[in-house]
Amino acid sequence: MSWVGEEIDYSSPYANYRSPLSTRYASKEMQYNFSDQKKFSTWRKLWVNLAKAEKELGLDISDAQIAEMEANVNNIDFEAAAAEERLTRHDVMAHVHVFAKQCPLAAPIIHLGATSCFVGDNTDLILLRDGLDLLLPRVAAVMANLGHFAEQYKSLPALGFTHLQPAQLTTVGKRATLWLYDFLMDERALRRAKEDLRFRGVKGTTGTQASFMQLLEDGAKVRALDKRVTELCGFQKTYPVTGQTYTRKVDVEIVAALSSLGSTIHKMCTDLRLLANMKEIEEPFEKSQIGSSAMPYKRNPMRSERCCALARHLMALFSNAVNTHSIQWLERTLDDSANKRLTLSEAFLSADAALLVLVNITQGLVVYPKVIERRINQELPFMSAENLIMAMVKKGGDRQICHEKIRVLSQEAGAQVKQFGRDNDFLDRVRADEYFAPILGDIDKLLDPSTYTGRAADQVVEFLEEEVAPVLERYKEALKDEKPVTLNI
């Protein structure tokens, strides 16, 4: 909608759509990884590496030509490339032409023998690798923060929930290990995805390497060329067979791991939102932060809500990846191109943005032990029934009679809570019943919350030492310089 007679300045940077992933959420490092500068300078590095390998294998390429190309790797004329693409309707050839004009000596050998997917697909694989290198330390930082939190609160009893109904006690630290274990699985999945990444290398138009056979006239040399370019680009292996593209199953595996990370983030942050509602645990809240424009007393879990929002988008992207792979007819179709531009970048940017917020959250979680204790005290009387029965049996009581007594008293107490909103008076009723006189002196001991948490504290210690510590050891260099994360918006 525009006002009548309004003139719109389309040249203004604020008159164009800008992704909130770049303007509000994702890190500068991840934005750069999917930037035009990184993409097209990587194309040029690929052309340099191709020329170097072809020269090594006997093609007539000079050191001067390679030096000229290397000198212009980052000197990209984006306006000239855009103008060329408008003419040619082909992004790769547009950049070949612009690069050739900047490198007149090397112009005859730029992109020699290659197809567009040589730069397009190999660059995507480099961006995927580098993107995972950025994400994995962030996952490790969240894990480290949760590990410290779990250790600190390993013995603090808390009411457990099943079906979102009060259940047996757990501890605050033990609950944190449930989140932490999911991240442990995500770290493994993302690391495996990175380790499994290979390079497309030099495979030609339909994957047969026919153009390189024309150039080198020797199958062994073509294979050596493929291997050498792969090494120069920092990979150890190539995909042994491809069509025109590397199989889009690779994208499925990467986005699947990222989407799975999204489900972990969403689950944990949903739990935090529930706990904030109970006033047991809250995310950090700045002194000047405003929770609501209308209700100034509110402390909304805004960071956790943002994580859930970003995670839902991340999880939804998996369907794009799997559907794109499923319709790559024969050696390839081009209907993957636009989708990949959106899906791969947004998957990494969304994961990066959510992890940044989550690092901030886990650096400053606030626990309210007195609120947790009060909630335990509201429910523990009912949970103590089995302990009371066992204590009575040890004093010579009949289990069946005791069970019936407790059933009646607990139902009466429950009615007071549900029908009249009163406090749970079950124990008062037990104390007033002469039947329970033999154990009245033991009731306080029988109600010690720490006796209801089983091996929770020991489980936390064992889990952190045996499972988490070895994984975090991989990231000790990155974690030692970890600084508090502040969010701009």
The residues assigned a catalytic role are 163, 292
90 vs 82: CA distance, rounded Å: 10
CA dihedral 399, 158, 164, 290 (to 10 degrees): 160
User: What are the residues facing 162 on neighbouring strands?
Assistant: 165
Sequence-separated (6 or more) residues with CB below 8 Å from residue 135 = 190, 258, 348, 351, 352, 355
CB of 475 closer than 8 Å to CB of 481: no
The residue type found at 55 is K
DSSP 39-101: HHHHHHHHHHHHHHHHHHTT-S--HHHHHHHHHTSS---HHHHHHHHHHHS-HHHHHHHHHHH
First to last CA, the chain: 28
Distance between CA atoms of residues 45 and 70, nearest Å = 7
d(CA 151, CA 130): 32
Query: By CB neighbour count within 10 A (0-12 exposed, 13-18 middle, 19+ buried), where does 70 fall?
Result: middle
Tokens 């497309």 belong to residue = 200
Distance CA 298, CA 291 (A): 5
Q: Which residues pair with 282 in a beta bridge?
A: 366
Helices (H) and strands (E) in the chain, counts: 21, 4
C-alpha 310/C-alpha 312 separation (Å) is 5
- Written as one string, the DSSP assignment of 87-128 is HHS-HHHHHHHHHHHH-TTTGGGTTTT--HHHHHHHHHHHHH
Contact 320, 342 (CB under 8 A): yes
Pair 377, 444: CB distance under 8 Å: no
